[in-house]
Amino acid sequence: MIDSLVFRQLYPKDIPQLRILCSESFPIEYPDSWYDFVTSGYFYSNAAFDQNQMVGVIIAENKSYKQIQAEDVSIIARHFKYNRVGYILTLGVAKAYRSLGLGSYLLSRTLENLEDQNCLCVYLHVLKANKKAIAFYENRNFRQHASFPYYYTIKGIPCEGSSYVIYMNGGYRDYPFIILLLKRFSLFIFICVQKIVTNICPNQRSRRRLKRFNCDSV
Ligand X SMILES: CC(C)(COP(=O)(O)OP(=O)(O)OC[C@H]1O[C@@H](n2cnc3c(N)ncnc32)[C@H](O)[C@@H]1OP(=O)(O)O)[C@@H](O)C(=O)NCCC(=O)NCCS
When asked if residue 3 is in the footprint of ligand X (CB under 6 A), the reply is no
Three-state SS sequence of the chain: CHHHCEEECCCHHHHHHHHHHHHHHCCCCCCHHHHHHHCCCCCEEEEEEECCEEEEEEEEEEEEHHHCCHHHHHHCCHHHCCCEEEEEEEEEECHHHCCCCHHHHHHHHHHHHHHHCCEEEEEEEEECCCHHHHHHHHCCCCEEEEEEEEEEEECCEEEEEEEEEEECCCCCCCCCHHHHHHHHCHHHHHHHHHHHHHHHCCCHHHHHHHHHHHHHHC
Residue 125 is a catalytic residue: yes
Q: Which of residues 28-87 bind ligand X (CB under 6 A)?
A: none
Q: Which of residues 76-95 bind ligand X (CB under 6 A)?
A: 90-93
Which CB atom, from 92 or from 171, has the smaller least distance to ligand X?
92
Residue 145 is a catalytic residue: no
Return the residue of 47, 85, 126, 159 that touches ligand X, per CB under 6 A: 126
Least CB distance from residue 59 to ligand X, whole Å? Answer: 10
Return the residue of 48, 55, 85, 133 that touches ligand X, per CB under 6 A: 133
Catalytic residue among 87, 105, 137, 151: 87
Residue closest to ligand X, measured at CB: 103
Which CB atom, from 22 or from 76, has the smaller least distance to ligand X?
22
Least CB distance from residue 185 to ligand X, whole Å? Answer: 38
Which residues here bind ligand X, judged by CB under 6 A?
Answer: 25-26, 90-93, 98-104, 126, 130, 132-133, 135-136, 139
Active site residues: 87, 125
